[in-house]
Amino acid sequence: MHSQIENLLKKISYIETDMELHKHILFSIPSDQKEEMEKVMQIIAEKKQQVQDLRREIKRKDPAAYDRILAIEKGTELFKTMARDKQFDRVDTPDDSGACKITLSDGTDVDCLVAALEKNGDWMILTRDGEVKQFPKGLVKQGTKS
């Protein structure tokens, strides 16, 4: 992914963080202060529009990157849903070098965005392509950041 797309993603992340902050502000405003609530709701709406505009720009500049982003977002939501009913001993994400992987018992390395070791020894991962995969404990030789 080239630097222009990375910069757009950073902007989106910043705006989404700011939007979350404004949502918290909105919930803290007393219900009798309608005008103040409307101001904050307008700010949130503007931020949502900014995010949509930036996403369209990514799609225009690099459709393949846009599709990968959508796949990762979809996979992330599925991972969160599946993780709700599980207990994990450890969750690994890419370190500063961007590395996160599990090694299968046959020696195959599987790169991931998230590798989660369940208490029962099974593994659940989110791949760099946005796929959620599960491996029983006997199939994983080692799961560590590299």
The predicted-structure confidence for 49-90, as pLDDT tens digits, reads as follows 999 999 999 999 999 999 999 999 999 999 999 999 999 998
User: What percent of the chain has pLDDT above 70?
Assistant: 95
d(CA 146, CA 100): 6
Does pTM surpass 0.85? no
d(CA 141, CA 16): 38
Q: How many other C-beta atoms lie within 10 A of the C-beta of residue 130?
A: 20
Whole-number Cα distances in Å, 76 to 18, 73, 126, 129, 131:
21, 5, 7, 11, 9
pLDDT of 99 above 90: no
pLDDT of 146 above 50: no
d(CA 31, CA 49): 25
